[in-house]
Chain A
Amino acid sequence: MIRSLRLLLIEDMEDHALLLVRELRGGFNVTFERVETLQELEAALDSHPWDAVIADFNLPGFNGLDALRIMRAKGLDLPFILISGVIGEESAVEAMKAGAHDFILKGKYSRLVPALERELREATIRHERRQAEEELVKYREHLETLVRERTTELEKAKEAAEAANRAKSEFLTNMSHEMRTPLTGVMGIIDLLLMDNPPDKQRPLLEMAYTSAGSLSRLIDDILDFSRLVSGKISFRLVPFNLRECICSAAEVLALEARRKGLRFDLEVDADLPEKVVADEGRLRQVFINLIGNAVKFTEKGEIHVAARRTPDPARSGHDLIQFAVRDTGIGISADSHEIIFEMFTQVKTAEALSSGCGLGLAISKRIIETMGGKIRVESKKGTGSTFTFTMMLDEASRIGCSPPISDPPVSGAGH
C-alpha cells in the first residue's frame, strides 16, 4: 500500500523540487507545496497539517536552521530532512542539534524514500509517546484532584462525625439531667410516704419502689459515665495515693453487705505491694466496688475473696504488675458469656446475661482498666463461682521520703 504524504518543500529551485518529488513518488502518494521565504513557510505551516518537511539548507533569504526554529516555535514536531549540495560536517552536526532528523546530499536521492519512511515511523512513535505522557500527566492530575476531593470529603465526614459525637454526648448529658429531676420526684415521694409510717403491707412495696428508682438512677449515671469514657471525655487524674487504704476502704462497705448475707469475706493484700502508687484513685475504687459488689450480689452462700499481689510483667522484663483478684462462690457464668459480660447492652444476647442485672458496671470497669494500661479477665464455671482478675501497671510513687510499706498482716475474715 502506498501511503499518502503531505509534504512541505522549502526550496528556491523549482526543478530541484520536482526532481525530489519524482523520487519520492516511488514510495509515496505525494501532495506538496513549495515555499521560498520565511513568510511563505509560516503561512503554509499555519494553513495545513503536514506529514513532513524537506528543506534546502541554503536559501537566498534564510536557511534550514531558521525553518527549524520557526517549526519549534509553533510546537511542530514533523520529520525534517535537510538537502544540501555543500554541507560541511560542522553544519550537519549543527543542523542535527537544532532538530533536523537527517540530511541528504543534493542529487543523491536514492536514500530519500527509506529515510523519510523511517522518520515518519519515528515521528509516529514520538507522537504516541508524547500522547501517552500527556495522558499520564492528565491521569496524575486527575488522581491528585481525586485525592484532594476525597481528602475534603473525609475532612467533612470527620467533622460531621465529631459533630455527631458532640451531639450524642450533649444529648446524653441533657437526657440524664432531664431524667434525674422527675426521678427526684419519684424517690422523694416514696421517701415521704415511708416517713409517714405506712401500713406494714405497704412498707416493703414502697421500699422496693425506692430500690428500683435507685437502680434507675445508678443506670443513668452509668450510661453517662460509659459514654464519657468511650468518647475519651474523661481525663484520668494521676496522683499518688495509698493503695492499701484504697482497697480496704472500697472493700469495707461491701464486706458489711456480705456479712449481712452470711458470707465469709477475705481480703488479702500482699505486704510487698508498694505503699504509694500513682493512678486515678477514684476510678480504681470504682472498679473495686463494681467487682466486689457483683461478687456479693451474685453469691448466696460461701465466700468472697479479694486479693492484691505483685506479679512479673510478661511484657516488660524486670517490671512488675499489680494483680487484683475477686473470687466468689456465686452463681457463676457459663463459658459462652465470658466475653459478652464485658460489653454493652447491644451485645447482651443471652438470657443469662440479660437477667444478671450487671448493667454497665463491667463494661465501665473494663474501659477504666484498659485506659490505665491493664487487662481484665474472668474465670468461671456455672454454679461454682467466678474469679475476676485484672492487672494494672501502677506507677510506683517515688519512695524518697516515704515510710516503708505497712507490714500489718492481711485483713482476713472480715465477714466474721
Chain B
Amino acid sequence: MSAVFINESESDHRPSEGAISLLVAEDDKIVRHLLSLIIPKKFPDTVVHLAENGRAGLDLFERHTPRIVLTDINMPVMNGIQMSRQIRALKPDAKIIVLTAYQGSEYTEQFDEIGVESYLAKPIVFEKLFIAIENCRR
C-alpha cells in the first residue's frame, strides 16, 4: 500500500507546469505525513509522493520518475539502501537524500557506493532539509 499525496491540502497551491516531483520513502506514518506537509510549504511547486517502504517507493519512482528522493534507511519489505540502489540503476542522475537515525553509521559506506547528495540526521532539522532539497533542485 502506498499513499500518494499530491499537494492537495493546500488548495491555493496547485502544482504548476514546471512542478518538481519528490519521493519520500519513510515507514513512520507521522514523519511521512509531516514531510508531506512541510516540503510543499517551503517549496510550493513540489509534488510529493509518499511511500511507506522501499518496495512502494520503487513502484512510485517507476511511475513518476521524481527528481529528488528522500529516503529512510530501515524500512520493512525493502530498505532504503536496496531501493536507492535500484533507483540509481534506473536513473543515474536521480538526487538521493538519506534520512538517518544512526550516528556514524556503517550504512554510509553503502550509500557512498550508490552515490547520494546528502545525509540528514534524525531528528530532522528542517532548515537543513530545505537546504538539502534546494541543492538538489539546482
Contacts and interface: CB of A to CB of B under 8 A. Distances in A.
A183 B123 contact: yes
A192 interface: yes
B126 A188 contact: yes
Contact of A184 (B31, B37, B41, B103): B31
B101 A176 contact: yes
A224 B103 CA distance: 9
B103 A221 contact: yes
Contacts of B38: 188, 191-192, 195
B108 to A, nearest CB: 14
B29 to A, nearest CB: 9
Contact of B34 (A173, A180, A184, A217): A184
B102 interface: yes
A409 interface: no
Contacts, number: 55
Interface residues of B, number: 18
B124 A188 contact: yes
Interface in B9-64: 28, 30-31, 34-35, 37-38, 41
B123 A188 contact: yes
A185 B103 contact: no
B74 interface: yes
A189 B101 contact: no
B34 A189 contact: yes
A75 interface: no
Nearest to A196: B41
A158 to B, nearest CB: 26
Interface residues of A, number: 22
Contact of A177 (B31, B37, B74): B74
B131 to A, nearest CB: 14
User: Most B CB atoms within 10 A — which of A177, A182, A184, A224?
Assistant: A184
Contacts of A403: none
Contacts of B30: 182, 185, 189
Contacts of A225: 103
Interface string B66-110: 000000001000000000000000000000000001110000000
Contact of B37 (A180, A187, A192): A192
A181 interface: yes
Interface of A: 173, 176-178, 180-189, 191-192, 195, 213, 217, 221, 224-225
Interface of B: 28, 30-31, 34-35, 37-38, 41, 74, 101-103, 121-126
10 contacts: A180-B122, A181-B101, A182-B28, A184-B124, A188-B38, A188-B124, A189-B30, A191-B126, A195-B41, A221-B103
Given A183-B122, A185-B34, A186-B123, 13 more contacts: A176-B101, A181-B122, A185-B30, A188-B31, A188-B35, A188-B123, A189-B30, A192-B34, A192-B38, A192-B41, A195-B38, A195-B41, A224-B103
